[in-house]
């Protein structure tokens, strides 16, 4: 630590304060139901009153962490939220689902929906996507003569996985910024981990748990199947995928060219700007805007998409900023070294730390976004001592942040209510699939870490 930026110098006091912040944070959210913004802010402010804290350095670290984090990621989070709004209103979700069903066949509808969730979770909030796809779940279940649990469990799991792990979804995007991870690499390796987790979740729903749950399709949703009801002209396949795929390819190609092309190469130089997430997602917004067919809808979109995107982004932005402040403050204390030394002394795999923090953050708060941001905030100052790459830390924390969705999660209740499952069945099916998917994704991350890929 640089002595000019030390917030507190006593190692034992720093460690106690570190643990106290975590306990108070989780207590405020779980017991008193405080909003996560206040639950993060209050412990940080109380930190500054503790005897022995250098308050000037504390203020400097707080402001530096908040500002630098939002400076690198704020605009990108808003742009990602605007793209999500566009996908909801242009029919892209329906077209993407049709292509997945066409690829694997109607006889494999649970797998098709799982793969659809894998794609949509990258750009759309999980609960929104499930609301849109729910009528199809019931119609397909009736058509195939299977339970809603067989049809929906894989979808519920895959939506949550990519929502938690793969940028440019706001949560993982913020976490990547907090630990300093390369976003392109995070997309590539996170997608692989999520695919492993999604397929594990599909197996859980299709063969292990789904057939054992008695959940017949609900008649009030049957008949609203947009695969059969195509009276209106549907959006083209390329146009539907473009707002998601093009930004991802641009950001990923920027990272790939760094590995294979020399600095100064014209292609690497060009992609360094076009693959910058701000530019790449701006292109995604433009591609989404082109999917609007009427001038009236274009005028509405100019205001509504941006306003809704800003509204959705607001909570994530302030929580991410406070996470950056927490990370910067902890970096200026001996607590970081103490925790790192503990892991080294007992021979514990360092990759377990962000994974466990992600689990705790999610299970206490019920929020995947809070889980992944909390894990990134707390682990970021320790990366060098733990010999953990930013990408490995971020992906491990994100994998933990989906374990496990149960009664304190709004996503759990959205899926449970719309599917018609009993809460105890939903705990086994939907809670189980997030456990299985999270563990499988974490195993994939561990293997990539062990073999030096990340």
Q: Token pair 């959006």 is at which residue?
A: 235
- Tens digit of pLDDT for each residue in 307-354? 887 887 887 788 778 888 887 887 788 776 777 777 777 778 889 989
pLDDT of 441 > 90? The answer is yes
d(CA 38, CA 428): 33
Total-model pTM: 0.83
Question: Is residue 276 one of the residues assigned to a domain?
Answer: yes
d(CA 290, CA 92): 12
Question: Is residue 34 one of the residues assigned to a domain?
Answer: no
Most confidently predicted of 41-50, 147-156, 409-418: 147-156
pLDDT given for residue 2 in this prediction: 46
Whole-number Cα distances in Å, 28 to 21, 24, 44, 374: 11, 6, 13, 15
d(CA 319, CA 312): 12
Q: Which domain holds residue 350?
A: 69-450
Hey, how many other C-beta atoms are within 10 angstroms of the C-beta on 253? 17
Length of the chain: 454
Q: Give me the number of domains the chain comprises.
A: 1
Q: Which residues contact 119 (CB under 8 A, 6 or more apart)?
A: 96, 100, 162, 241, 244
Q: Decide if 217 contacts 139 (C-beta within 8 A).
A: yes
pLDDT of 299 > 80? The answer is no
Q: Name the token pair of 81.
A: 């939220």
pLDDT given for residue 224 in this prediction: 57
pLDDT given for residue 437 in this prediction: 96
Tell me the percentage of the chain whose pLDDT exceeds 70. 92
Q: Is 329 helix (H, G, I), strand (E, B) or coil?
A: helix
Q: Is 265 helix (H, G, I), strand (E, B) or coil?
A: coil
Q: Decide if 147 contacts 121 (C-beta within 8 A).
A: no
d(CA 170, CA 451): 29
Q: Decide if 81 contacts 170 (C-beta within 8 A).
A: yes
Question: Is residue 23 one of the residues assigned to a domain?
Answer: no
Question: Is residue 31 one of the residues assigned to a domain?
Answer: no
Tell me the percentage of the chain whose pLDDT exceeds 90. 26
Question: Is residue 256 one of the residues assigned to a domain?
Answer: yes
- Tens digit of pLDDT for each residue in 104-141? 887 899 999 999 999 999 888 888 888 888 888 888 88
Question: Is residue 281 one of the residues assigned to a domain?
Answer: yes
Segment 93-102 mean pLDDT = 85
pLDDT tier for residue 159 given thresholds of 50, 70 and 90: very high
d(CA 355, CA 302): 40
pLDDT of 229 > 70? The answer is no
pLDDT of 364 > 50? The answer is yes
Segment 84-102 mean pLDDT = 83
Q: Name the token pair of 31.
A: 């017991």
pLDDT of 81 > 80? The answer is yes
Q: Decide if 308 contacts 301 (C-beta within 8 A).
A: no
Question: Is residue 132 one of the residues assigned to a domain?
Answer: yes
Segment 56-68 mean pLDDT = 88
pLDDT given for residue 328 in this prediction: 83
Question: Is residue 35 one of the residues assigned to a domain?
Answer: no
pLDDT tier for residue 3 given thresholds of 50, 70 and 90: very low
d(CA 349, CA 369): 24
d(CA 225, CA 150): 17
Identify the CA nearest to 326 among candidates 4, 25, 12, 49.
Answer: 25
């Amino acid at each position: 630590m640089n002595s000019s930026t030390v917030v507190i110098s006593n190692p034992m006091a720093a460690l106690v304060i570190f643990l106290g912040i975590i306990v108070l944070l989780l207590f405020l959210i779980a017991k008193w139901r405080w909003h996560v913004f206040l639950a993060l802010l209050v412990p940080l402010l109380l930190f500054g009153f503790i005897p022995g804290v250098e308050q000037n350095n504390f203020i400097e670290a707080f402001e530096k962490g908040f500002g630098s984090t939002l400076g690198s990621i704020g605009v990108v989070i808003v742009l990602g939220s605007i793209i999500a709004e566009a996908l909801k209103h242009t029919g892209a979700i329906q077209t993407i689902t049709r292509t997945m069903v066409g690829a694997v066949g109607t006889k494999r509808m649970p797998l098709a929906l799982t793969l659809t969730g894998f794609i949509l979770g990258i750009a759309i909030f999980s609960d929104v996507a499930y609301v849109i796809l729910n009528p199809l779940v019931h119609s397909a279940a009736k058509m195939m003569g299977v339970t809603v649990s067989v049809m929906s469990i894989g979808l519920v799991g895959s939506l949550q996985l990519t929502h938690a792990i793969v940028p440019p979804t706001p949560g993982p995007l913020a976490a990547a910024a907090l630990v300093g991870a390369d976003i392109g690499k995070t997309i590539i390796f996170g997608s692989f981990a999520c695919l492993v987790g999604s397929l594990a979740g599909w197996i859980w729903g299709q063969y292990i748990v789904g057939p054992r749950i008695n959940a017949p399709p609900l008649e009030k949703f049957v008949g609203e199947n947009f695969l059969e009801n195509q009276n209106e002209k549907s959006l083209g396949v390329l146009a539907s995928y473009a707002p998601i795929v093009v930004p991802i390819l641009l950001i990923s190609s920027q990272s790939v060219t760094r590995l294979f092309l020399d600095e100064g190469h014209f292609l690497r130089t060009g992609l360094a700007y076009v693959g910058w997430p701000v530019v790449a997602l701006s292109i995604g917004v433009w591609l989404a805007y082109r999917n609007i067919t009427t001038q009236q809808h274009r005028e509405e979109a100019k205001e509504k998409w941006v306003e809704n995107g800003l509204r959705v982004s607001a909570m994530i932005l302030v929580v991410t900023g406070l996470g950056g402040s927490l990370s910067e403050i902890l970096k200026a204390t001996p607590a970081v070294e103490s925790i790192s030394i503990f892991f080294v002394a007992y021979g514990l795999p360092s990759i377990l730390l962000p994974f466990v923090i992600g689990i705790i953050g999610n299970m206490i708060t019920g929020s995947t976004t809070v889980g992944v941001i909390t894990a990134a905030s707390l682990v970021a100052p320790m990366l060098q001592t733990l010999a953990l790459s930013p990408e490995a830390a971020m992906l491990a924390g994100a994998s933990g942040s989906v374990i496990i969705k149960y009664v304190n999660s709004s996503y759990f209740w959205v899926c449970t209510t719309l599917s018609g499952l009993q809460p105890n069945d939903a705990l086994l099916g939907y809670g189980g699939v997030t456990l299985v998917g999270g563990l499988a994704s974490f195993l994939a991350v561990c293997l990539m870490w062990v073999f030096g890929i990340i």
